[in-house]
């Protein structure tokens, strides 16, 4: 469906809500298609197509709110969805903080952020790319004997959002990816690992062979597993996991956790929350960005800004509701953070290993061992023991622990080995000291 057709549907929905007596309303209508092709051991395994469409509508009767959604965009379904939302609103309690975003904060202009790059690839072509990817992974090491498969995915979507303040906006976007996961064996030991590449534009992805080789190398290196001693060691979080640490920080400064007082970073605005090495920018207008948008889920204009500067917290991430609860304005983050760029301190990955010296490189974490209120952090982990800056052998079934407040302040270096085209772009992060417990 075309954007203009979806915009018209949003206007139809808002008109229906007004006719039902709603004092204000907002709606989003979306449509998308996707194709996934996977192979395993050189043979085509799965072909999946998806075609998704949906409408969601929120109505307000004063301070009473009702919400409903549907995957049917027919006129009758739209009418039924609006009616359901209005009925729900009659039974909800009044909430002085609910309502549409402040009209003064709504986006006035919606620039083209270069998010739409359709990939006209058919099943045979996708299968061929996946086979090349898997073959490259299998050829890395003779101990790689099996595969969980390789896949090529492509999606194409469009959405429109509108509210009764007169805002209407939307855009088309695409996402494409290629990935592989293989299994290596040595004696009675088996290990698996994977790699992937994704982008808005398929031309910006790594080649199938590069993705496959990385998957194979990551798998083979995990075979030589040895034990280590429990102790206090410096810990290097590999870039994909470092992104998770940044995600935890973002959750702690997001409105929902702040107004519920379920964050270890309460009342931290303007305070030193991390090492002076940490600098994080939010770049909502990044061309081809994985999380770029000119407006948030409420139509509020987004902004490019510094979130953390030399370790000092510069801003929260707030929706209209969480902002009102905290006595602050929306920051254009209804729906979450936009592209986050963590500045490198200049070292490449080998440079980080050298600075680590003797300690632990973490490449995988398990479980959900984080207390968001206290910041206590304890996760099962796997990775590699590093000695004198050199990777010596794999380790697994260990536990790493710290407190997030301490961990953030013990960041001593951030690498330049950034995984491209993802929403949180950071290199590997070196932590000065954590408790590492060996599982025996």
Report the pLDDT value the prediction gives residue 423, as an integer from 0 to 100. 96
Q: What does the pLDDT look like over 351-370, one tens digit per residue?
A: 999 999 999 999 999 988 89
- Shared domain for 209 and 239, answered yes or no, is no
Residue 100 lies in a domain: yes
Report the pLDDT value the prediction gives residue 367, as an integer from 0 to 100. 84
- Shared domain for 101 and 184, answered yes or no, is no
Q: Is the pLDDT of residue 79 over 80?
A: yes
* Count of structural domains, the chain: 3
Residue 300 lies in a domain: no
Residue 176 lies in a domain: yes
- Shared domain for 171 and 239, answered yes or no, is no
Residue 83: helix, strand or coil by DSSP?
Answer: helix
CA-CA distance, 253 to 263, in Å (whole number)?
7
pTM over the 0.75 mark: yes
- Shared domain for 149 and 24, answered yes or no, is no
- Shared domain for 87 and 128, answered yes or no, is no
Residue 374 lies in a domain: yes
Band the pLDDT of 382: cuts 50, 70, 90: very high
- Shared domain for 215 and 353, answered yes or no, is no
CATH code of the domain covering residue 162: 3.30.2290.10
Q: Is the pLDDT of residue 440 over 60?
A: no
Q: What percent of the chain has pLDDT over 90?
A: 98
Report the pLDDT value the prediction gives residue 369, as an integer from 0 to 100. 87
- Shared domain for 54 and 78, answered yes or no, is yes
Residue 273 lies in a domain: no
Report the pLDDT value the prediction gives residue 322, as an integer from 0 to 100. 98
Q: What is the mean pLDDT of the chain?
A: 97
Q: How many CB atoms lie within 10 A of CB 197?
A: 23
Q: Is the pLDDT of residue 228 over 90?
A: yes
Q: What does the pLDDT look like over 314-329, one tens digit per residue?
A: 999 999 999 999 999 9
- The pair of three-digit structure tokens given for residue 231, joined into one six-digit string: 């102790």
Residues 6+ apart with CB under 8 A from 238: 361, 362, 363, 383, 428
Q: Is the pLDDT of residue 439 over 70?
A: no
Report the pLDDT value the prediction gives residue 17, as an integer from 0 to 100. 98
- Shared domain for 236 and 364, answered yes or no, is yes
Q: What does the pLDDT look like over 140-183, one tens digit per residue?
A: 999 999 999 999 999 999 999 999 999 999 999 999 999 999 99
Report the pLDDT value the prediction gives residue 1, as an integer from 0 to 100. 81
CA-CA distance, 417 to 233, in Å (whole number)?
22
- Shared domain for 24 and 137, answered yes or no, is no
Question: For residue 78, what are the domain limits?
Answer: 3-33+48-105
- Shared domain for 349 and 427, answered yes or no, is yes
- Shared domain for 181 and 55, answered yes or no, is no
Residue 283 lies in a domain: no
Residue 72 lies in a domain: yes
- Shared domain for 215 and 359, answered yes or no, is no
Residue 264 lies in a domain: no
Question: How far are the Cα atoms of 199, 266, 292, 338 from residue 286, in angstroms, in the given order?
Answer: 13, 29, 6, 9
């Amino acid at each position: 469906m075309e954007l203009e057709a979806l915009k018209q549907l949003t206007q139809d929905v808002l008109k229906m809500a007004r006719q039902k007596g709603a004092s204000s309303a907002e709606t989003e209508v979306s449509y998308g298609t996707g194709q996934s092709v996977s192979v395993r051991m050189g043979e085509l395994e799965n072909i999946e197509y998806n075609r998704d469409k949906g409408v969601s509508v929120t109505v307000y009767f004063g301070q009473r709110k009702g919400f409903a959604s549907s995957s049917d965009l027919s006129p009758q379904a739209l009418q039924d969805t609006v009616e359901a939302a209005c009925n729900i609103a009659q039974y909800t309690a009044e909430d002085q903080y609910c309502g549409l975003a402040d009209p003064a904060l709504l986006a006035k202009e919606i620039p083209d952020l270069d998010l739409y790059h359709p990939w006209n690839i058919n099943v045979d072509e996708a299968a061929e790319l996946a086979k090349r990817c898997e073959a490259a992974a299998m050829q890395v090491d003779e101990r790689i004997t099996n595969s969980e498969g390789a896949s090529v995915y492509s999606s194409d979507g469009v959405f429109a959002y509108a509210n009764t303040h007169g805002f209407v906006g939307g855009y088309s976007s695409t996402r494409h990816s290629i990935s592989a996961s293989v299994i290596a064996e040595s004696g009675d030991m088996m290990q698996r690992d994977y790699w992937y590449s994704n982008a808005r534009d398929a031309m910006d992805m790594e080649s199938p062979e590069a993705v496959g080789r990385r998957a194979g190398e990551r798998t083979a290196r995990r075979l030589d597993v040895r034990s280590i001693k429990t102790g206090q060691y410096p810990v290097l979080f590999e870039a994909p996991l470092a992104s998770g640490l940044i995600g935890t920080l973002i959750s702690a400064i997001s409105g929902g956790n702040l107004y519920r007082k379920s964050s270890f970073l309460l009342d931290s605005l303007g305070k030193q929350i991390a090492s002076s090495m940490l600098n994080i920018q939010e770049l909502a207008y990044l061309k081809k960005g994985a999380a770029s948008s000119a407006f948030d889920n409420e139509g509020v204009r987004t902004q490019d800004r510094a979130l953390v500067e030399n370790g000092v917290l510069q801003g929260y991430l707030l929706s209209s509701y969480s902002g009102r609860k905290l006595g602050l304005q929306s920051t254009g983050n209804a729906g979450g953070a936009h592209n986050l760029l963590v500045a490198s301190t200049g070292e490449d990955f080998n440079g980080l290993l050298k600075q680590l010296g003797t300690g632990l490189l973490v490449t995988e974490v398990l479980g959900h061992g984080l207390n968001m209120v206290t910041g206590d952090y304890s996760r099962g982990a796997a990775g590699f023991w590093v000695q004198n800056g050199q990777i010596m052998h794999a380790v697994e079934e260990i536990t790493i622990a710290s407190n997030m407040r301490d961990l953030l302040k013990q960041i001593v270096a951030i690498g330049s080995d950034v995984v491209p085209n993802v929403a949180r772009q950071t290199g590997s992060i070196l932590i000065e000291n954590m408790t590492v417990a060996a599982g025996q």
